[in-house]
């Protein structure tokens, strides 16, 4: 069997998830040993139109990006959304909270706001444009989870990605609950798989892996009440990665 | 260190078996005949094995062959998850891991002797039932009348077509078959399996009734059997659960207080009275 | 078995000598809480702790462990951890939980992975000095333990009373500098026990725990399950901190050669999405209320039926502390049922 060809593409993002590939260090050589990387702008100059697995980083914010993504999808057998921008729209979705993007552009770019290269549209996650076969969640992605998913793919198996909250991994690590230390942690409604990295280091969960498939948002409302907070406190925490994600606490 | 554990066998460790025969039954089902490499394998109809594909995982599969038929054992595997997909790729001669046979809740092989038997099977439910059907047919004089009701969703999904046809021809078997959706090539009954129950000639009240099918089927079959006043002690149900470890530890297959993998997968209906999660 | 009175300084000397010889896991501060962790010096040992964040279960059933290794197409080989260690500072309720786990992992099918670690462990238990905020061990009859440990320590103020419970413990005790405990020391220990039997009771169960299985017999359709589960995150925190939760998942992973690999087991929880999901996506316990009920039935009815009626909630109170919406407290649920159904 010939080695599968992998191509990596980036859209609107900080390219930090790709950086995690580079950070694989020696393991990157293992990966290259079992798959051919044929296109990867961040690390090589070659380009290719033939690939089996397309890895998409970033969210979709322009019409021409939608077209480009559709073309990639048509060429790839398997398409992976990599990182929060690609899987849930990520931080880029913050802009969807503005009703009038033209106003925002005017404010940011002044008189240049009408220039064609600044054309923009509300941010979309990759699966709002094309079908996604596999998701590598997180901002940035977890290297261990990423390599596990790649190995699963090479074996022809569907990876088991947790559909339970971050609390599971957080408690298993023996962490005390950050809510008891006054932090508005999103762990109870956010998908695990990161090994509860933020709470283990004293930071609340920011929600970068997106919601579990059935987050109990009603429970979240009652909890904040118990801690003397308001829905607004929760909203401001959820908005970073949760903008216009379903379901949300926005009415 | 401690002798007691080095001597105890590892309950999670699969033993190797060889795929002696493998063939596609239709698009989703694959038939396998396996032979344990160390030769040892004794089982009772209704027992299951954990099928292990290295790198992929394990899946619980009920044995479809009867222990009366020598030369390994048979499985039918529907392509539905990681492990079963991988099994579909195995060719004859390939190695596969097996743990088992598992499950203390088997078909009532002894208790049913001398009694009339009615098998009610829905779709893939024929697969586990076949183990007991063939056991009965190989010990025909030990049992009374045999009635088999088989319902399949569509014509293309019918399983063991030749074998079912052979059962149909036997004078000592009353075989009734139906498909949910009509088909040009099908001249027989159309409709769900419960529609066949009124056609059973055996006195259901005194028969042993064995039921296996998808989770949704049980409720309807049991309602129908209630009309015929079949005593709950005489009804046996083969239940499906997530039998992950197969040895009563991991907790996934628990139905109220009972582990499906230990006390099942075949249960006496009257024993399920205290298990509201069962049906 | 002998009972000694040991000066606290001498005990510290003993612990440091033990650390030099073998791997010692002891209770230490973790921020403003406590947890079990590898002990580097007797100085760090905190036998005056209230409760640890995680129960000591993880040293017998780790959050993840390799069960076996394999080569695709080849044989599977069992993998065992085989290092002796000392577990220092196990509270009575946690000791009861370990005793229950021992029974569950040995019965029907002997789990050699758990038992290998268990047999490698030397357990020095200790009586509670400071009750935690949510402990209800007194209600569950687990405030004092008389079995399972190798050595039991009781802080009687100026000294420890140490009693061996096994030949292994007897040997350990022989290595501790001290004198045979006199009547006064034994009396002090008795009063610690008497105090704890009543005092570890921040939540008071309104019935004898032995009655709980019968209480639950009539409670299956009670509204409390849905009422509580309405705010359940299904986050499994109650499972993850419980000393008697032992459900697990098993997963394979391969190395980069795609030929060799390992099969691992990891903690799972009956509250979590997917726990009962079979191939084909049918999830048998789909509702949060069903899962919530299952946990409390498992603790007070299902598991007890497997271990001679012992209630599988030992009153450590960890789930109470870990549950954000504050619904997990077993005592408040059982008391609610008693209020509605009465006793008997």
Distance from CA of B51 to the nearest CA of A (A): 16
Provide the pLDDT for residue B5.
Answer: 46
What gap in Å lies between CA C85 and CA C65, rounded to an integer?
17
B1 occurs within a structural domain? no
Provide the pLDDT for residue A241.
Answer: 85
Beta strands C3-7; C159-164: pairing state = antiparallel
Q: Do A188 and C324 touch (CB under 8 A)?
A: yes
C positions 56-115 inside 8 Å of B (CB): 67-68, 70-78, 80, 82, 84, 104-105, 108-113, 115
- Asked if the C-beta of B79 comes within 8 angstroms of chain A's C-beta atoms, the answer is no
Q: Does residue B267 sit in the same domain as residue B150?
A: yes
What gap in Å lies between CA C134 and CA C113, rounded to an integer?
32
Q: Could you say which residues of chain B have pLDDT below 70? A: 1-7
The better pLDDT of the pair A229, C290 is held by: C290
B38 occurs within a structural domain? yes
Q: Does residue B266 sit in the same domain as residue B131?
A: yes
CATH of the domain at B70: 2.40.30.10
Distance from CA of C230 to the nearest CA of A (A): 7
CATH class of this structure's domain A5-155: alpha beta
Q: Do A156 and B86 touch (CB under 8 A)?
A: yes
Paired strand residues for B17: B36, B96
Q: Quick check: helix, strand or coil at residue A8?
A: strand
B112 occurs within a structural domain? no
What sign has the CA pseudo-torsion A30, A31, A34, A38?
Answer: negative
Provide the pLDDT for residue A244.
Answer: 60
Tens-digit pLDDT profile for residues C84-142? 999 999 999 999 999 999 999 999 999 999 999 999 999 999 999 999 999 999 999 99
Residues of chain B positioned with their CB less than 8 A from the CB of C109:
11, 247-249
Tens-digit pLDDT profile for residues A99-136? 888 888 889 899 898 888 888 888 999 999 999 999 99
Residues of chain C positioned with their CB less than 8 A from the CB of B255:
284
- Asked if the C-beta of A1 comes within 8 angstroms of chain B's C-beta atoms, the answer is no
Range of the domain at B160: 117-274
Q: Does residue B89 sit in the same domain as residue B125?
A: no
C positions 174-233 inside 8 Å of B (CB): 220
Q: Do C112 and B240 touch (CB under 8 A)?
A: no
- Asked if the C-beta of C278 comes within 8 angstroms of chain B's C-beta atoms, the answer is yes
The better pLDDT of the pair B182, C9 is held by: C9
Which partners does chain C have (≥3 C-beta pairs < 8 Å)? A, B
Neighbours of B227 (CB within 10 A): 10
How many domains are there within chain B? Answer: 2
pLDDT at A240 over 90: no
Tens-digit pLDDT profile for residues A4-27? 999 999 999 999 999 998 898 888
Provide the pLDDT for residue B7.
Answer: 59
Q: Do C119 and B1 touch (CB under 8 A)?
A: yes
Nearest to B87 by CA among C81, A123, A157, C51: A157
Provide the pLDDT for residue A250.
Answer: 43
Please calculate the CA angle C288-C250-A214 and round it to the nearest 5 degrees.
25
Provide the pLDDT for residue B2.
Answer: 46
- DSSP character for A180? G
- Closest-CA residue in chain A for C254? A151
B109 occurs within a structural domain? no
The better pLDDT of the pair A74, A244 is held by: A74
- Asked if the C-beta of A156 comes within 8 angstroms of chain B's C-beta atoms, the answer is yes
Which partners does chain B have (≥3 C-beta pairs < 8 Å)? A, C
Provide the pLDDT for residue A21.
Answer: 87
What gap in Å lies between CA C142 and CA B74, rounded to an integer?
50
Residues of chain A positioned with their CB less than 8 A from the CB of C240:
167-168, 171-172
Q: Do C84 and B1 touch (CB under 8 A)?
A: yes
- Closest-CA residue in chain A for C241? A171
Q: Where in chain A is the domain with CATH 3.40.50.700?
A: 5-155
Q: Do B85 and A155 touch (CB under 8 A)?
A: no
Nearest to C322 by CA among A212, B16, B233, A179: A179
What gap in Å lies between CA C127 and CA A150, rounded to an integer?
50
Among A30, A167, A219, select the one facing C237 at the smallest CB separation: A167
Q: How confident is the model at residue A245 (pLDDT cuts 50, 70, 90)?
A: low
Q: Does residue B86 sit in the same domain as residue B177?
A: no
Neighbours of A231 (CB within 10 A): 13
CB B228 within 8 A of CB B238: no
B124 occurs within a structural domain? yes
Residues of B contacting chain C (CB within 8 angstroms): 1-2, 4-5, 8-14, 16, 52, 54-59, 80-81, 84, 94-95, 97, 215, 240-242, 244-245, 247-252, 254-257, 262, 276-277
Provide the pLDDT for residue A251.
Answer: 37
Distance from CA of C292 to the nearest CA of B (A): 12
Residues of chain A positioned with their CB less than 8 A from the CB of C53:
174-176
B4 occurs within a structural domain? no
HSE, CB side, 13 Å, CA atoms: give it for residue A18.
21
Mark which of B102, B136, B157 sits at the end of a domain: B102
C positions 246-305 inside 8 Å of A (CB): 251, 253-254, 256, 258, 267, 269, 272-274, 288
- Asked if the C-beta of B93 comes within 8 angstroms of chain A's C-beta atoms, the answer is no
Provide the pLDDT for residue B1.
Answer: 41
Q: What ipTM did this prediction achieve?
A: 0.94
Tens-digit pLDDT profile for residues C63-73? 999 999 999 98
pLDDT at A35 over 60: yes
Q: Does residue B170 sit in the same domain as residue B239?
A: yes
- The Cα-based distances of B166 to A102, B161, B170, C238 in angstroms read 75, 9, 7, 56
Provide the pLDDT for residue A218.
Answer: 81
Residue ranges covered by each domain of chain C: 3-58+82-199, 209-247+270-341
Tell me the two tokens of residue B237. 């149900």
Q: Does residue B97 sit in the same domain as residue B125?
A: no
Percent of chain C surpassing pLDDT 90: 96
Q: Do B56 and A155 touch (CB under 8 A)?
A: yes
pLDDT at A149 over 80: yes
Provide the pLDDT for residue A1.
Answer: 58
pLDDT at A41 over 80: no
Residues of chain A positioned with their CB less than 8 A from the CB of C321:
177
A156 preceded by cis ω (within 30°)?
Answer: no
CB C38 within 8 A of CB C204: no
Most distant pair of Cα atoms in chain A: their distance = 61
Among B1, B252, B262, select the one facing C108 at the smallest CB separation: B262
Provide the pLDDT for residue A44.
Answer: 73
- Asked if the C-beta of C282 comes within 8 angstroms of chain B's C-beta atoms, the answer is yes
Among A34, A215, A218, select the one facing C231 at the smallest CB separation: A218
Distance from CA of B3 to the nearest CA of C (A): 10
Tell me the two tokens of residue C313. 């909630």
pLDDT, mean of residues C333-338: 96
- Closest-CA residue in chain B for A148? B55
Q: End-to-end distance of chain A based on CA atoms, in angstroms? A: 52
- Closest-CA residue in chain A for B84? A157
Q: Does residue B249 sit in the same domain as residue B157?
A: yes
B23 occurs within a structural domain? yes
- Asked if the C-beta of B257 comes within 8 angstroms of chain A's C-beta atoms, the answer is no
What gap in Å lies between CA C143 and CA C315, rounded to an integer?
8
- The Cα-based distances of A102 to A97, A98, A124 in angstroms read 13, 10, 18
What gap in Å lies between CA C299 and CA C311, rounded to an integer?
6
Mutate to test the interface with C, among A166, A216, A225 (most CBs of C within 10 A): A216
Q: Does residue B136 sit in the same domain as residue B90?
A: no
Mutate to test the interface with A, among C268, C272, C324, C326 (most CBs of A within 10 A): C324
What gap in Å lies between CA C287 and CA A214, rounded to an integer?
11
Provide the pLDDT for residue B3.
Answer: 46
Among A174, A177, A213, select the one facing C54 at the smallest CB separation: A174
Q: Do B262 and C119 touch (CB under 8 A)?
A: no
CB A50 within 8 A of CB A44: no
What gap in Å lies between CA B135 and CA A230, rounded to an integer?
67
Residues near A158 by Cβ (< 8 Å), separated by ≥ 6? A152, B81, B82
Arithmetic mean of pLDDT over chain C: 96
Distance from CA of B62 to the nearest CA of C (A): 14
């Amino acid at each position: 069997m010939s080695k599968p060809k992998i191509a990596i593409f980036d859209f609107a993002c900080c390219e930090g998830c790709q950086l995690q590939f580079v950070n694989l260090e020696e393991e990157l050589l293992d990966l290259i040993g079992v798959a051919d990387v044929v296109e990867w702008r961040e690390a090589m100059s070659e380009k290719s139109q033939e690939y089996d697995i397309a890895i998409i980083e970033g969210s979709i914010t322009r019409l021409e990006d939608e077209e480009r993504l559709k073309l990639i999808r048509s060429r790839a057998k398997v398409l992976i959304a990599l990182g929060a921008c690609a899987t849930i729209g990520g931080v880029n979705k913050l802009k969807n909270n503005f009703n009038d993007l033209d106003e925002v552009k005017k404010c940011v770019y002044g008189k240049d706001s009408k220039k064609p290269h600044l054309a923009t549209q509300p941010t979309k996650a990759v699966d709002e444009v094309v079908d996604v076969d596999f998701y590598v969640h997180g901002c940035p992605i977890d290297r261990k989870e990423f390599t596990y998913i790649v190995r699963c793919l090479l074996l022809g198996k569907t990876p088991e990605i947790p559909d339970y909250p971050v609390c599971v991994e957080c408690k298993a690590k023996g962490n005390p609950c950050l809510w008891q230390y006054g932090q508005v942690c999103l762990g109870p409604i956010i998908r695990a798989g990161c090994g509860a990295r933020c709470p283990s280091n004293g930071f609340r969960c920011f929600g970068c892996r997106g919601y579990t498939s059935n987050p109990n948002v009603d429970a979240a409302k009652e909890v904040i009440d118990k801690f003397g907070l308001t829905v607004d406190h929760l909203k401001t925490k959820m908005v970073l990665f949760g903008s216009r994600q379903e379901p949300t606490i926005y009415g | 260190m401690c002798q007691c554990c080095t001597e105890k066998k590892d309950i999670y460790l699969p033993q190797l078996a060889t795929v002696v025969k493998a063939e596609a039954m239709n698009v989703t089902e694959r038939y396998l005949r396996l032979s344990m490499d160390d030769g040892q394998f004794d089982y009772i109809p209704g027992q299951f094995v954990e099928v292990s594909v290295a790198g992929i995982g394990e899946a619980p599969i009920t044995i479809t062959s009867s222990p009366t038929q020598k030369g390994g054992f048979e499985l039918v595997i529907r392509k539905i998850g990681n492990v079963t997909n991988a099994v579909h790729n195995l060719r004859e001669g390939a190695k596969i891991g097996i743990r088992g046979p598992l499950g203390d809740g088997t078909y009532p092989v002894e208790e049913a002797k001398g009694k009339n038997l009615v098998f009610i099977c829905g779709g893939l439910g024929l697969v586990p039932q076949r183990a007991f059907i063939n056991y009965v047919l190989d010990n025909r004089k030990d049992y009374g009348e045999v009635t088999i009701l088989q319902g399949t969703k569509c014509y293309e999904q019918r399983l063991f077509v030749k074998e079912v046809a052979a059962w149909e021809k036997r004078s000592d078997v009353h075989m009734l078959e139906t498909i949910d959706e009509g088909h040009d090539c099908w001249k027989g009954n159309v409709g769900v399996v419960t529609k066949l129950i009124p056609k059973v000639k055996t006195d259901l009240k005194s028969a042993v009734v064995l039921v296996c099918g998808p989770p949704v089927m049980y409720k309807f079959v049991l309602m129908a059997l209630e009309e015929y006043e079949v005593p709950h002690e005489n009804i046996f149900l083969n239940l499906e659960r997530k039998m992950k470890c197969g040895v009563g530890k991991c907790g996934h297959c628990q139905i109220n207080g009972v582990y499906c993998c230990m006390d099942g997968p075949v249960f006496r209906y009257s024993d399920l009275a205290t298990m509201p999660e069962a049906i | 078995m002998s009972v000694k009175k040991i000066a606290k300084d001498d005990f510290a000397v003993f612990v440091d000598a033990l650390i030099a010889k073998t791997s010692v896991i002891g209770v230490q501060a973790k921020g403003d809480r406590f947890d079990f962790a590898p002990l580097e010096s007797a100085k760090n040992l905190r036998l005056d702790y209230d409760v640890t964040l995680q129960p000591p279960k993880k040293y017998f059933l780790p959050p993840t462990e390799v069960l076996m290794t394999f080569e695709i197409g080849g044989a599977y080989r069992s993998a065992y951890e085989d290092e002796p260690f000392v577990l220092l500072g196990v509270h009575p309720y946690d000791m009861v939980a370990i005793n229950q786990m021992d029974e569950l992992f040995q019965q029907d099918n002997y789990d050699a992975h758990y038992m290998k670690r268990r047999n490698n462990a030397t357990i020095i238990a200790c009586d509670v000095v400071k009750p935690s905020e949510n402990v209800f061990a007194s209600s569950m009859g687990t405030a004092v333990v008389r079995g399972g440990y190798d050595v039991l320590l009781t802080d009687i103020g100026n000294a420890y009373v140490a009693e061996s419970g096994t030949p292994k413990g007897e040997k350990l005790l022989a290595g501790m500098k001290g004198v045979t405990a006199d009547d006064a020391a034994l009396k002090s220990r008795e009063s610690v026990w008497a105090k704890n039997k009543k005092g570890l009771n921040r939540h008071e169960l309104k019935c004898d725990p032995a009655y709980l299985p019968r209480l639950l017999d009539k409670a299956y359709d009670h509204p409390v399950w849905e009422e509580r589960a309405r705010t359940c995150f299904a986050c499994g925190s109650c499972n993850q901190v419980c000393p008697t939760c032992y459900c697990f998942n098993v997963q394979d992973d391969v190395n980069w050669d795609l030929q060799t690999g390992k099969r691992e087991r990891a903690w799972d929880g009956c509250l979590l999405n997917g726990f009962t999901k079979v191939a084909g996506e049918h999830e048998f316990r789909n509702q949060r209320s069903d899962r919530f009920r299952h946990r409390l039935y498992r603790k007070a009815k299902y598991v007890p039926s497997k271990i001679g009626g012992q209630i599988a909630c030992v009153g450590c109170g960890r789930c109470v502390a870990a549950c954000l919406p504050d619904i997990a407290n077993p005592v408040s649920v059982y008391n609610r049922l008693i209020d509605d159904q009465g006793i008997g």
